Structure 1
Amino acid sequence: MPTPFDATTKELVRFQPEDWLALLGLPPEPCELVDTDLATVSTEADRLIQVNSTPPYLVHIEFQAGHDGHAVPVRMLRYNVLADAQTSLSVLSYVILLRPEADSPALTGAVERLRPNGSRYLAFEYGVIRLWKLPVANILRGGLATLPLALLCDLSATTAENVVSSMATRIETEARVESKRKLWASTYLLAGVRYAPQIAGKLLEKAVAEMKESMTYQKILADGREEGIAQGVALGERRFFLKMATRRLGEPDAATLAKIEQASAITIEQWGDALDQVETWAELVKA
């Protein structure tokens, strides 16, 4: 299922595909987006970049905001094989995790299958990038297309306000008018992964006017992405609630995380109100 941020991340890859090579640790080369018919399996699988090196190869990027750890490795393998079959090019696959709640022990970067005798008959590797562990400086000095990811990175050495200021400097000096609007719109929408809407709005208040004028933003709305934005807001509120609750109750187990993932915004708000009245996760999220 497409994530609430699917249209945004897809647009950023289309914007300047060569910028994503640096984020993935790949050598700079001329790039172009490839439109292959992987939509028969899922619309999420169309972020394919052809790198025109010698020889050429493909880069497949998958973005993950929700906890779907056990399904992701198999999905990465399936998309990799499909892209290979349709293009006859080597395919490098990467999953970019947008927030800690998307992580899982299953995301090892490898898929193996064994014969009954224990010998391996299949080995597939894919890259895993956990944005919250990536120093924000890496993004701030990278390409413009990856700049909207900055607020989701490791900010331990700086502040969100400083990050936005650094972004503004680059966007104002390097981007054209419509690109500025596109980048700020994407930044605002992706900020919902980590921040409640009030916080995101405060951080990006100077960019709101640009965002509302963005053709990308208007297209997202026209395509029915109001629902996606609402889901993004819910993700931000859930992230904030989980952070506060973990400070009080400790790390939740997998079953509790799954329950939080499925909870409505109203339920999250009720749990937040009850947080100072309980001592355990079980008490807080009881049915």
Structure 2
Amino acid sequence: LEGESEVLHIELQTDPTKVMPMRLADYRLRIHRKAPDKTIHQVVIYLRQTNSEQVYQEYFEIAGMYAEYRVIRIWEVPIAQLMQYSGLLPFAALGQTDNPEQVLRDSVQAMSQLPASNQQHEVLGAAYLLSGLVLDQAMIGKIIRRDVMRESVTYQAVLDEGREEGLQLGIKEGRQVGIEEARRSIVINLLREGASIDLIAKASGMSIDEINQLQDSL
């Protein structure tokens, strides 16, 4: 997101990597090159709970260079915050809870009440994939109806991947698709709220053409 004096850059990551600090520093320099007079805020959101020390690192440092960024460990985020916005509902089961099964049930109920059926299908598809980080597929299948899932482009992409390379690999690769679909859902919500296309592109990393296509589909 870009305002008059500030820029917010957000990264979604399933697991930490050693190159993440350098990647954030690289993006910071790119953003600074385009907007040298603006303050830059960077946030990394980690999706899968881990004991890795890397999810606590909030800076990049080499000789003569130091850059900070903020880290959000989604398993520490209160469920109420994730349930507050439709674009965040697919992430709810990953939040701060001892009962992700019940949280998924609650979030699915909230998703089922969204006004547009195609929006319901896609956020449910993203929820199906993302919740696989904390729940087994059998349990998820009991909560999210298969007849609904058949309408989800996200879910169908996973099935196609599974037929070609094996179901488990399809689901694993599909989780990244789920992250992308969740990002797509957030972008759609921003469009509906009247945010500018340039601002959405800078915040989401999607191209202007991709955003225009989403806008045309609304």
TM-score range relative to shorter protein: 0.5 to 0.7
One of 66, 73, 84 as aligned partner of 1:123: 66
In 2, distance between residues paired with 1:233 and 1:190?
10
Cα RMSD (Å) of the superposition?
Answer: 3.0
Deviation, 1:87, is: 5.1
Q: Cα–Cα, structure 1 residues 219 and 87, in superposed 2: closer, same or farther, change >3 Å?
A: farther
Moved beyond 6 Å, runs of 4+: none
SS in 2 for 1:154: coil
In 2, distance between residues paired with 1:97 and 1:138?
16
Partner of 1:59: 8
One of 209, 225, 245 as aligned partner of 2:147: 209
In 2, distance between residues paired with 1:106 and 1:164?
24
Deviation, 1:98, is: 1.0
Q: Cα–Cα, structure 1 residues 212 and 91, in superposed 2: closer, same or farther, change >3 Å?
A: farther
One of 16, 19, 28 as aligned partner of 1:71: 19
The structure that is helix-richer by fraction is 2
Structure 1's unaligned 5+ residue stretches are 1-49, 115-120, 236-287
How many residue pairs were aligned?
171
Partner of 2:45: 96
1:137 aligns with 2:85: no
One of 94, 108, 126 as aligned partner of 2:57: 108
Q: Does 1 or 2 have the higher relative contact order (CA < 8 Å, sep 6+)?
A: 2
Q: Cα–Cα, structure 1 residues 169 and 94, in superposed 2: closer, same or farther, change >3 Å?
A: same
Partner of 2:199: none
Q: Deviations over 1:25-83 (max 9, x none)?
A: xxxxxxxxxxxxxxxxxxxxxxxxx33x333x433222222342x22111111122223
Structure 2's unaligned 5+ residue stretches are 174-218
Equivalences for residues 178-257 of structure 1 within 5 A: 178-204=118-144, 206=145, 208-218=146-156, 224=161, 230-231=168-169, 233=171
1:150, 1:163 within 8 Å by CA — same for their partners in 2?
Answer: yes
How high is the sequence identity, in percent, across the aligned residues?
25
Larger Rg: 1
Q: Cα–Cα, structure 1 residues 232 and 127, in superposed 2: closer, same or farther, change >3 Å?
A: farther
